[in-house]
Chain A
Amino acid sequence: MTDEKKAAGPAPAVEQPAVEQSPENVPAPTGEVRPIGERHGMFGVKGTGDTSGYGGLVAPVVYPPAAERPYGGWFDVVADGLDPLIDSVVIHRGEITFHIAPDNLIAAAKLLRDDPKLRFELCAGVSGVHYPADTGRELHAVYSFLSMTFNRRIRVEVSVPDADPHLPSLCPVYPAVDWHEREAYDMFGIIFDGHPALTRILMPDDWPGFPQRKDYPLGGIPVEYKGGTIPPPDQRRSYS
């Protein structure tokens, strides 16, 4: 194609933002989008042949992306108070999650408890979540903090790699998390350094493995009933 021909061509169309063409085309919020898994096919069929034609579909599992300032309302007040310690902030369905590095966890918790602008008096507990496909940060510990003074609730999420599952214990700051941390250790194998007695709490003391991890089998035996055999729940057909 020569320069003359290009000049003689039709005038280039004025680029119109997609948002103005149709309001539902709002661009996705910027920020880190990190797939933490893959979903194959469309109907979750495994094992049997997928005749739907969608069997080759591969879609990433993406969690809500990081939010950008301003977060709105009191979210900014809390974010300001914690600012240098935060890795990222996620706001989803009106709930705010602060992602914090394990090294900053104790400092953040002290700030949350003691800062007069924050005043998170109560830590409601720790919930472990295992994301096997989130390489390098497979184990997440999710804390819920409640400020009774200001009636605010936030979530703090910390992630550690499966290979080195160490987190500082929040027991010295919030004694309430004592048993919750023991449960997270019992079920996920997250080791909370500095916990006064990090032992199993729900499972027997000599139990092998960490039952709530995704690679730990559910267990169960096939049940025979009136000639038919029903496999255990984790071996039944699943659509997830």
Chain B
Amino acid sequence: MTTNEDLYAGASEATDAPADRVFTVSGQDWDDIAAGLGEEGGDAQERVVVNMGPQHPSTHGVLRLILELEGETVTEARCGIGYLHTGIEKNMEYRSWVQGTTFCTRMDYLSPFFNEMTYVLGIERLLDIEDDIPEKASVMRVLLMELNRISSHLVCIATGGMEIGALTVMTIGFRERELVLDLFELITGLRMNHAFIRPGGVAQDLPPGALDEIRGFVALMKKRLPEYAALCNANPIFKARLEGVGHLDLEGCLALGLTGPIVRSTGYPWDLRKTSPYCGYETYDFDVQTWDTADSYGRFRVRLNEMWESLKIIEQAADRLARMEGEPVMVADKKIAWPSQLAIGSDGMGNSLDHIRQIMGESMEALIHHFKLVTEGFRVPAGQAYVPIESPRGELGAHVVSDGGTRPFRAHFRDPSFNNLQAMGVMSEGSMIADVIVAIASIDPVMGGVDR
């Protein structure tokens, strides 16, 4: 409905100028708005700037879109971000290097292990212990990252389906994601915010029975992934909504710095797991999935196929872990390795009682060591490192700067969602409003990562 008093205009702005008039739209009231604009509105009757979000179910979290419309066609589209800015990077400068993982895991909340991984790889490069990381820790990292890739892609496909009205895709997507989260809970103790990948290795060894659960999950996913293909791949409604929408070719992708499934949907097989392998990805057998349509449909197919590849990697990692029982999961250097371990007690997971007994009752030196490492932390040689990894959304990298102290001097995350969201305008200008939603869903931005 129209209001005469404009709460949003500045004091100096005349409320009777048509361009500055503000309407609160609640639906079914276009005629009132057109009448409110009156004759002097002129072009304004056809040209409207709509503020969509930040609280809108189909903008993927608190993303604000500013759309200039002509009828139902979008002539200009801009993003407003920052609604989820929490100052994680600044906060990390006031915590020790290990505590930093607890912060950065919360950034892109759909792919927590990737945030931890790129940060930890940067620290390990600065510490020069990249070659000392135990094999089992690397395999566990790969296993967790690939499980995480599946859960992240499932959310992308599920919410993307929901936004175009395919609610079954949403329900089955979250059904399968729950299985992955159960595995995370089994392995790390938490469904999200794990802080499990630590400088030097991982926090804990695999619990008993985890490999059987993982194998069961892989077997189940092999049955259930074809359901997505059956529901979507050749579905005429699904294809009509996705094909040709959000088109961006390779030149556009590179100019805008897009990576991940978006660039792979143009047919360019760029995947950091292959081009600059980390955590031993070069030793796993998997293919880089591409598509050649450079549109939302291609990105959907790339994600769907990548889940199959992730299953392949998970199987290989599980086979390796089966042969590594009892091997260390933390670097041997006692000056870096976290001293305590977790254990399940009668009241849930907590510090291992054996460790408490040792430091409190048996060894004074162990207590000092524990205290120093936990309160003070370790020092990282001065310098800077940037070790990007292939997150589900593209190149995720942490620019880690140390001044030789026990805390990060600066940790900046190059989040793929943040970068890729820049393409929203170019993907959706000239299309219908409904296509804007599809284009954004195909970018798969996670606002926790965008705003950090």
Contact = CB atoms under 8 A, between A and B. Distances in A.
Contact of B82 (A93, A97, A146, A202): A202
A157 to B, nearest CB: 9
Contacts of B395: 124, 146
Interface in B85-119: 85, 87, 89-91, 93-95
A39 B402 CA distance: 13
Interface residues of A, number: 51
A117 interface: no
Contacts of B333: none
Contacts of B397: 124, 144
B276 interface: yes
A62 to B, nearest CB: 6
B405 A151 contact: no
Contacts, number: 131
Contacts of A111: none
Nearest to B251: A121
B159 to A, nearest CB: 23
Contacts of A121: 254
B384 A178 contact: no
Given A97-B384, A211-B87, A238 B407 contact: yes
Contact of B384 (A61, A62, A142): A142
Nearest to B85: A202
Contact of A63 (B91, B125, B383): B383
A176 B414 contact: no
B266 to A, nearest CB: 12
A150 B276 CA distance: 11
Interface of A: prevailing SS: mixed
B422 A176 contact: yes
A174 B255 CA distance: 6
Contacts of A44: 376, 405-406
A124 B414 CA distance: 7
Contacts of A148: 254, 268, 270, 275
B90 to A, nearest CB: 6
Interface string A4-48: 000000000000000000000000000000001101000110000
A129 B256 contact: no
A168 interface: no
Nearest to A237: B375
A42 to B, nearest CB: 11
Nearest to B375: A239
B216 interface: no
Contact of B385 (A95, A200, A211): A95
A175 to B, nearest CB: 5
A94 to B, nearest CB: 8
A212 B91 contact: no
A94 B91 CA distance: 28
Contact of A92 (B258, B259, B268, B383): B383
Nearest to A177: B257
A64 B257 contact: no
A84 interface: no
24 contacts: A36-B403, A39-B404, A39-B405, A61-B403, A64-B382, A95-B385, A123-B257, A124-B414, A125-B414, A127-B414, A129-B412, A142-B399, A144-B399, A175-B255, A175-B422, A176-B256, A176-B419, A177-B257, A178-B422, A179-B418, A180-B418, A218-B91, A218-B93, A239-B405
Interface of A: 36-37, 39, 43-44, 61-64, 92-95, 97, 121-125, 127-130, 142, 144, 146, 148, 151, 153, 155, 174-180, 183, 200-204, 211-212, 218, 233-234, 238-240
Given A123-B257, A178-B422, 17 more contacts: A36-B403, A63-B383, A93-B128, A95-B386, A122-B259, A125-B419, A142-B384, A144-B399, A148-B254, A175-B256, A175-B422, A179-B419, A202-B81, A202-B82, A212-B89, A212-B410, A218-B94
